[in-house]
Amino acid sequence: MSYITLTLPFNVGGSVAGDLFSTAWLFKTATHRMLSLAKQTPILPATDIGWKNTFRKAIYEVIPNRRYVDGVITLVRGIYESCRQLGVGFKEVELGDWLMFQQAEKEYPVRNITLKDDYSFYITTIGYNGEKDRIVVKPTIPKNYKVLLDKILEERQKHTARIVIKDYGVRKNRLWVHGEIQLTIPIDFYYKHMTRYRRNYGKLYGGVDVNVDRANLAVVDRYGRLRHVKTFWFEEASRKGCRSRRARSIIGMTVHDMLKYAYHHGVKTLFLENPDVLGKLKLLWIRNGKRLHRNYNWRVSVFRSRIIEMITMKTPLYAIRVEYVDPRRTTHSEEHDKIMKRYGLDRHSTSAYLIALRGIERYSSIQKVTA
């Protein structure tokens, strides 16, 4: 099953900030211990239950809450599994610079980070002395998420929750924390309640070329004839100094604009570049910064892949189907140069057009095989 994470920002100060801060530090300390113990274990268990039975007691000594303990174990096991898939030595990884705590157990209500009817969250915190408390945090709720949160409450939808501390400091001798509450829900539940258009009577195809500052859309008919081209910009999101949340918001709005344009211009199927399989070891870094190739632009590739993932996730909201195509030779080829001259397109719009053509070829062959 696939999932999507809702991000709800908040700002708190005083004792509430202190309680969140202590819980996050204890969670990270517990994660360090868990990672160290896992590295020292010759043969690690093969199941979730095995991991929990092996490490729960030791981690509980650091953060005395069973659900947070399981959150630590789930996090470290995720790192281990990522290393196995990528062929990276598990003993070579270390934790990155983050502060967060999570309940990884999916349930309703989430006991440690509980959503209430007024969109506030009752959060279980742990002090440095091990003392437990229950605090209330009321995050900022984006307008379009209110319906979704109401449905979570109404349908008692099981989910997981995480608190991420993004920034902190002291102002007038008072601790403040800026953070996010992250709720992870099944993507089918998201589509069920957030879909904007449930029917699509279009018969055209779209190709999208994604770059770090723009997305180019080319719309073609079944014969490959070019109907429309348009560029959707998000330059600010790629500028140095643009906060990640601001960047996500800008890109998200631009993606919606593009999909709305595609829907109203008759696009039924959208073709995207097949994103490279980039192993993303979240919340950690790999010693020596190993890369596949010294000239490989890792940052740009990851940024583009995330935008493609965002488009893929949001496209079903507009009743548009998504298909992937091989992006090779859609940027540098004789065919690319000829199309640029023939239609007077810029190189990115030309790439989008070629992606659409590749998609039609592939889609037609699939249709013939399945017919």
Instruction: Tell me the mean pLDDT in the region 348-355.
Output: 93
Q: Are residues 167 and 21 in the same domain?
A: yes
- Count the domains in the chain: 2
On whether the CB atoms of residues 261 and 230 are closer than 8 A, the answer is yes
Give residue 290's pLDDT: 41
Instruction: Tell me the mean pLDDT in the region 143-153.
Output: 93
Q: Are residues 222 and 335 in the same domain?
A: yes
Among the residue ranges 103-107, 299-303, 350-354, the one predicted with the least confidence is 299-303
Read off the pTM.
Answer: 0.77
Q: Are residues 56 and 122 in the same domain?
A: yes
Q: Are residues 200 and 293 in the same domain?
A: yes
Q: Are residues 168 and 32 in the same domain?
A: yes
Structure tokens at 190: 């998201």
Percentage with pLDDT > 70 across the chain? 89
Rounded Cα distance between 156 and 143, Å, is 20
Neighbours of 293 (CB within 10 A): 7
Q: Are residues 238 and 340 in the same domain?
A: yes
Rounded Cα distance between 125 and 83, Å, is 31
Choose between 118 and 86: higher pLDDT.
Answer: 118
On whether the CB atoms of residues 163 and 100 are closer than 8 A, the answer is yes
Structural domain of residue 133, as residue ranges? Answer: 3-193
Q: Are residues 189 and 200 in the same domain?
A: no
pLDDT digits (tens, 9 = 90+) for 94-103: 888 899 999 9
Q: Is the pLDDT of residue 227 over 50?
A: yes
| CATH assignment at residue 270 | 3.30.420.10
Q: Is the pLDDT of residue 294 over 80?
A: no
Choose the final residue of a domain: 163, 178, 193. Answer: 193
Q: Are residues 37 and 152 in the same domain?
A: yes
Q: Are residues 273 and 361 in the same domain?
A: yes
Q: Are residues 294 and 359 in the same domain?
A: yes
